[in-house]
């Protein structure tokens, strides 16, 4: 299929392109930029005047709830949500049921996703069997099956020796380990930030120290082993400062923040809004401001959706009993644009944090629009506002703390591997 995308504002962060140009797509590849290849005859012409044409978004954390939790969401429903949000590649954590700790499970997931012809799915394999934190998985076999890294999702490794051995082994073979820093004993039973709101509402808390103590351990082991670690979902000002210092020391680390944590604080819990029960918890305004600044200055490398659809029954309970998580795939782009506008960050820099940078960290050949690149493309209207409502979300999970909010940035087309996967 040949597609001509006419007169859009082409923004390609990797190649530092920001100009109104035509883009030519053929057989799943970008075959021309501003100049048509010889004998190019389009099957479809997209008039992108007034729209932005950028690489398809790359999301490093999207739970698809399959296998094992199809009552919450399905591969099909969430990949439709992904393309509606302009996400053409995503990484899914291994906390499915069964856990992604065997190569056969990874191969089956990838095969099923490929059959849908929607977003590209790149699984993270389990770092330990059953995510139990005791026995390492066969990382080489999982890599051969298609895993792009190894993670414990939200399950901690209690035994520091196991964590040490895991990073030591990963370093030997060049695997990337994805870890969310949280000291399990300090966080045990907690559901909210240890601050004034939790104190007023009487909620069990998770102190910032739960993040910083775990970070200190991880960074020390990284320093000793030389492992390559991606730190997931930073939530505190102290955590950002520690990562900044570690990067200055040359440690091989990267980090991310969820789009929700860039905009919300503990005060958004209001009167026990269970949709604000997130993991890690929403923290203070000072923490949120540090996250926003850390993303702007490059201490934090990228933004992710941390998409976690939850069924209504799991949210229609008291805050402390509600399941943590929120839908996010369709909010990643508008929330990143909102952060960029408020922080006065150039659009090309903002888009880098949800396209080329996550692709680099995942080690996948995505996130750019150079000649012969995979034709994974997002075309969106930066000026069109839309309201976040259950009816407007494609995800099976309608749970979001942003319900009713109007956001700028509406995806008009999503092209995956040269085919139109979504149009509005």
CATH number of the domain to which 163 belongs: 3.20.20.140
Same domain membership, residue 299 and residue 201: yes
CA distance 396 to 113: 17
Question: Of 342, 367, 392, at which residue does a domain stop?
Answer: 367
227 with 344, same domain: the answer is yes
CATH number of the CATH domain containing 41: 2.30.40.10
Contacting residues for 104 by C-beta, under 8 A, at least 6 apart: 145
Strand partners, 44: 3
Are 125 and 265 within one domain? yes
User: At how many degrees (to 10) do helices 285-297 and 237-248 cross?
Assistant: 30
Q: Which of 306, 312, 376, 381 is catalytic?
A: 306
Kindly state whether residues 272 and 284 are assigned to the same domain.
yes
Task: Tell me which residue of 347, 318, 316, 313 sits closest to 333, measured CA to CA.
Answer: 347
Residue ending a domain, among 351, 367, 383, is 367
Do residue 239 and residue 339 come from a single domain?
yes
Asked if residue 271 lies in contact with residue 283, where contact means CB atoms within 8 angstroms, the answer is no
Same domain, 417 and 281: no
Cis peptide before 242 (omega within 30 of 0): no
Identify whether residues 191 and 234 lie together within a single domain: yes
Residue 419 structural domain: 2-52+374-423
Take residue 63 and report the two structure tokens written for it: 């739970």
| Rounded Cα–Cα distance for residues 206 and 188 (Å) | 8
CB-based burial, 55-75: b 16+ in 10 Å, e otherwise: bbbbbbbbbbbbbebeebbbb
Q: Do 31 and 98 fall within a single domain?
A: no
Q: How many other C-beta atoms can be found within 10 angstroms of the C-beta atom of residue 169?
A: 18
306 belongs to the catalytic site: yes
Give the span between the Cα atoms of 251 and 131, in whole angstroms. Answer: 26
Alpha carbons 132 and 215: distance in angstroms, whole number: 20
Residue linked to tokens 């680390």: 253
Per-residue pLDDT of the chain (424 residues; tens, 9 = 90+): 999 999 999 999 999 999 999 999 999 999 999 999 999 999 999 999 999 999 999 999 999 998 888 888 899 999 999 999 999 999 999 999 999 999 999 999 999 999 999 999 999 999 999 999 999 999 999 999 999 999 999 999 999 999 999 999 999 999 999 999 999 999 999 999 999 999 999 999 999 999 999 999 999 999 999 999 999 999 999 999 999 999 999 999 999 999 999 999 999 999 999 999 999 999 999 999 999 999 999 999 999 999 999 998 999 999 999 999 999 999 999 999 999 999 999 999 999 999 999 999 999 999 999 999 999 999 999 999 999 999 999 999 999 999 999 999 999 999 999 999 999 9
pTM: 0.97
Identify whether residues 67 and 189 lie together within a single domain.
yes
Q: What DSSP line would sit under 187-219, residue for residue?
A: HTT--EESSHHHHHHT--EE-HHHHHHHHHHHH
Residues 61 and 25 in one domain: no
- Please tell me whether residues 353 and 381 are part of one structural domain: no
Strand partners for 410? 381
Contact assessment for residue 337 and residue 54, using Cβ atoms and an 8 Å cutoff: no
* Domains: count for the chain: 2
Dist CA 264 CA 253 (whole Å): 26
Q: Are residues 109 and 42 in the same domain?
A: no
């Amino acid at each position: 299929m040949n597609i001509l995308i006419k007169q859009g504002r082409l923004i390609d962060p990797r190649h530092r392109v920001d100009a109104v140009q035509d883009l030519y797509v053929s057989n799943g590849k970008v075959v021309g930029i501003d100049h048509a290849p010889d004998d190019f005859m389009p099957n479809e012409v997209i008039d992108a005047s007034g729209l932005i044409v950028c690489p398809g978004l790359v999301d490093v954390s999207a739970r698809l709830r399959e296998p094992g939790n199809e009552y919450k969401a399905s591969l099909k429903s969430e990949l439709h949500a992904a393309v509606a949000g302009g996400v053409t590649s995503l990484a899914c954590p291994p906390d499915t049921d069964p856990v992604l700790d065997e190569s056969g499970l990874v191969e089956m997931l990838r095969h099923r996703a490929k059959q849908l012809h929607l977003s590209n799915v790149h699984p993270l394999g389990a770092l330990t069997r059953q995510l139990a934190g005791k026995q390492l998985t066969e990382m080489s076999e999982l890599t051969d099956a298609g895993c792009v890294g190894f993670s414990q999702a939200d399950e901690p490794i209690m035994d520091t020796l196991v964590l040490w051995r895991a990073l030591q082994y990963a370093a030997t073979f060049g695997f990337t380990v994805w870890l969310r820093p949280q000291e399990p004993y300090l966080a045990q039973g907690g559901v909210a930030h240890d601050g004034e709101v939790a104190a007023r509402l009487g909620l069990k808390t998770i102190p910032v120290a739960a993040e910083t103590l775990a970070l200190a351990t991880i960074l020390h082991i990284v320093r000793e082993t030389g492992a390559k670690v991606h730190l997931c979902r930073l939530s505190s000002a102290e955590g950002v400062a520690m990562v900044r210092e570690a990067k200055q020391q040359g440690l091989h680390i990267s980090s991310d923040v969820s789009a929700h944590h860039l905009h919300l604080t503990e005060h958004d819990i209001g009167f026990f809004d269970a949709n604000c029960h997130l993991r890690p918890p929403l923290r203070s305004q000072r923490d949120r401001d540090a996250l926003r600044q850390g993303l702007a200055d490059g201490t934090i490398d990228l933004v992710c959706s941390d998409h976690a659809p939850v069924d209504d029954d799991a949210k229609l309970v008291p805050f402390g009993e509600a399941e943590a998580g929120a839908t996010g795939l369709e909010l990643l782009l508008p929330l990143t644009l909102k952060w960029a506008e408020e922080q006065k960050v150039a659009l090309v820099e903002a888009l880098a944090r949800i396209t080329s940078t996550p692709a680099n960290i995942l080690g996948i050949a995505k996130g750019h629009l150079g000649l012969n690149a995979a034709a994974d493309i997002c075309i969106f209207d930066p000026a069109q506002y839309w309201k976040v409502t259950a009816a407007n979300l494609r995800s099976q999970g309608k749970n979001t703390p942003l319900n009713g909010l109007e956001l700028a940035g509406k995806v008009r087309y999503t092209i995956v591997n040269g085919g139109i996967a979504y149009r509005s």
